[in-house]
Amino acid sequence: MSSLEGWLAVAERSTTRYVLRVIVIVYLALLVGWPVWLVIQHTFGNGLEALRAALSDVFVVFSLKLTLAVALQAVLLNTVFGVGVSLLLARYTFPGKRALSALVDLPLSVSPVVVGLALILVYGPRDGWFGAWLHERGFEVIFSAPGMIMATAFVSLPLVIREVVPVLQERGIDEEQAAASLGATPLQSFWRITLPAIKWALVYGVVLTFARALGEFGAVKIVSGNLVGRTQTATLLVEQKYQDFAQSTAYATAFLLAAVSVACITVVTVLRKDHAGTRSTKHASASAKKRGGQ
Amino acid sequence: MTSTLAGQDALAATPQSGATTSQASRPRRFAGRFATSTTSSGTVPLTKPAGLGLGVAMIWFSLLTLIPLIAVLVETGSHGWGAFWDTVSTAQTASALGLTVLTALGVTAINMVIGTAIAWVLVRDEFFGKRLLEVIIDIPFALPTIVAGLVLLSLYGPGSPVGINVANTRTAVFLAFLFVTLPFVVRTVQPVLAELDRDVEEAAASLGASRLTTLRLIVLPSLVPAITAGAALSFARGMSEYGALVLLSGNLPGQTEVGSVRILSYLENGDTAAAAAVATVLLLVSLAVIVALDVISRRVARRG
């Protein structure tokens, strides 16, 4: 290969690189970057006025508080369930395990509207499978808090599991078995060995669940009944305010929701990156050892 | 996910097993399944407390997810095949389902190409502001869907600073799907591309293979499972989208109305049976996607 040809090859390589880079940047700017920037501009068009006006609206404040309360309870449920199921999937063999591990992913690809309908069919007060029975005993699920929490927990169910299971599987059970043979109770070995090991994966999972829970719209719209000042969450309020031509309130509330969600995701990305460094070196050495042994 | 000990030995014998393990440290929100093929130790049969835990978890999982979803199928089934077919074949519903499937397919096709390109740029290119792109890709996943609609309206709606207004058209539906499905292919392809052995590409290049040949024969084949998995997720998400369309598409019957909007309007009219029928169609599509993903990830695991 002559030096000219070599130079041409390098030039061609860097041209492809630049073209691809520009295409990707332009695409992302048009689809996400620019529109997001415009929403920020809309919100701060009059300085902090729109934000202040929105936050002095009692219904806005109520909906934000309700969203936070529902999201936190859904996150709590999914954290307990997620850690439990992750341990079961990673540590034990039992019949139906493959089905369970496939089914826990199902909520991610079910339409929120279908989720809402499904919950109504089972927990609806009039002719729901269990709902009528619960209703007679004075326990309301649909059009009240339990239903909203369930809908939110449903749509964000797999997020913790998807983060924690791979980490548990990588680590294996040697350490727990060693601890058990030295007389540790299962609870001790969970707090002292398992939990520290999955700490970061759990944090990622919880933060993702929280972001998803804050933004739930379709499922909550159906099961909550969307009663202003009673079961109207922040996302439902954004829709209503926009359609009532209270656009600055809609934009301001949307901005608040988006800011929290995006902050969550950014924290996850940063944490993951900082943490990934230490973890991948550990694994690199582990896998090098494994390869060396053969 | 139940890999036997013998299977692990076979996996450990291939040089790629190290790659599979460290892959888990990359962003793997949607790629988690690819990282689960190797475990350093086996699993044990259920102990008593674990069995109790499994029982409790299954009861909650059933109450929250399985029984309600089965209720949708039972509700549809109880009205018979004729009622189901009558509902999904009415002009308005058929048009909504057709639009949903076609738009989801079109968006998925675009994502397979541009998503792979984005993943390539994120892994192989280095430039100022790359971390910003990483955040931008996660925004559609993080953003509440109703806000996603509002966001798109600001550039492509009535008040657009560039004078483009696609609100209440089918283009708006397409745009909304494109927005919410952006991260899926990128985030499944990215970790696989990052773990790809560059030595093989360099070897191919040194043996005189052109960049295109290297791409076609070496890079793409190893990415195909990840691209397919990302595409399946992106298709499922498109099929089920609702929130982003509410403000953007206007939900015009026969024009911009999608499947999930049909379910909602049937429900609001008190026609639960019809709502369940349309929901069944969407559910079966979701199930098909889950099965496809399971098959793909198993195939990847087998190849090691």
Select the residue of A32, A105, A166 nearest B290 (Cβ to Cβ).
A105
Percent of chain B with pLDDT over 70: 85
B274 confidence band (pLDDT: 50, 70, 90): very high
A135 confidence band (pLDDT: 50, 70, 90): confident
More confident residue, A60 or B48: A60
Let me know: does A271 contact B25? Beta carbons within 8 Å.
Answer: no
Question: So what's the pLDDT on residue B42?
Answer: 66
Average pLDDT, chain A: 84
Show me where the domains of chain B are located: 46-78, 81-303
Distance CA B301, CA B291 (A): 15
Q: Which residues of A touch B29 (CB under 8 A)?
A: 162-163, 208
State the average pLDDT over residues A234-244.
Answer: 90
Say if the Cβ atoms of A174 and B41 lie within 8 Å.
yes
Q: Which residues of B touch A115 (CB under 8 A)?
A: 68
More confident residue, A267 or A293: A267
B12 confidence band (pLDDT: 50, 70, 90): very low
pLDDT at A6 over 80: no
Distances (CA, A) of B86 to B98, B102, B239, B278, B283: 16, 21, 21, 11, 18
More confident residue, B37 or B265: B265
Q: Tens digits of per-residue pLDDT, B213-257?
A: 877 777 888 888 888 889 988 998 999 899 999 888 888 888 889
Select the residue from A16, A24, A149, A270 to test the B interface by mutation, using most B Cβ atoms within 10 A.
A24
pLDDT at A179 over 70: yes
Say if the Cβ atoms of A35 and B43 lie within 8 Å.
no
Q: Tens digits of per-residue pLDDT, B82-132?
A: 999 999 889 999 999 999 999 999 999 999 999 999 999 999 888 888 888
ipTM above 0.90, yes or no: no
Say if the Cβ atoms of B142 and A211 lie within 8 Å.
yes
Say if the Cβ atoms of A35 and B161 lie within 8 Å.
no
- Tokens found for residue A2: 């002559």
Out of 3.90.650.10, 1.10.540.10, 1.10.1040.10, 1.10.3720.10, the CATH code matching A57-292 is 1.10.3720.10
Q: Which residues of B touch A26 (CB under 8 A)?
A: none
Q: Tens digits of per-residue pLDDT, B131-184?
A: 888 889 988 988 899 999 989 998 998 888 888 888 899 999 999 999 999 999
Distance CA A27, CA A25 (A): 5
A to B CB pairs, distance under 8 Å? 333
Question: So what's the pLDDT on residue B39?
Answer: 42
Cite the beta strand spans of A149-233 per DSSP E.
none
Give the residue among B173, B147, B245 at the shortest CA–CA distance from A241: B147
Distances (CA, A) of B18 to A176, A263, B11, B39, B227: 23, 33, 9, 11, 22
Select the residue of B125, B135, B260 nearest A266 (Cβ to Cβ).
B135
Say if the Cβ atoms of B263 and A91 lie within 8 Å.
no
Q: Which residues of B touch A104 (CB under 8 A)?
A: 61
Distance CA B38, CA B40 (A): 7
Question: So what's the pLDDT on residue A170?
Answer: 83
Select the residue of A17, A88, A162 nearest B54 (Cβ to Cβ).
A88
Q: Which residues of A touch B233 (CB under 8 A)?
A: 108-109
Distance CA B31, CA A265 (A): 17
Select the residue from A42, A202, A287, A289 to test the B interface by mutation, using most B Cβ atoms within 10 A.
A287
Q: Which residues of A touch B283 (CB under 8 A)?
A: 110, 114
Q: Which residues of A touch B197 (CB under 8 A)?
A: none
- Helix, strand, coil shares of chain B as percentages rounded to 5? 80, 0, 20
User: A152: Cβ–Cβ under 8 A, 6 or more apart, which residues?
Assistant: A70, A71, A74, A213, A216, A219, A220
Q: How far is A28 from chain B (nearest CA, A)?
A: 7
Select the residue of B65, B134, B263 nearest A113 (Cβ to Cβ).
B263
Out of 3.40.640.10, 1.10.3720.10, 1.20.1440.230, 3.40.50.880, the CATH code matching B81-303 is 1.10.3720.10
pLDDT at B40 over 50: no
Residue whose token pair is 């940047």: A25
Select the residue from A36, A117, A216 to test the B interface by mutation, using most B Cβ atoms within 10 A.
A117
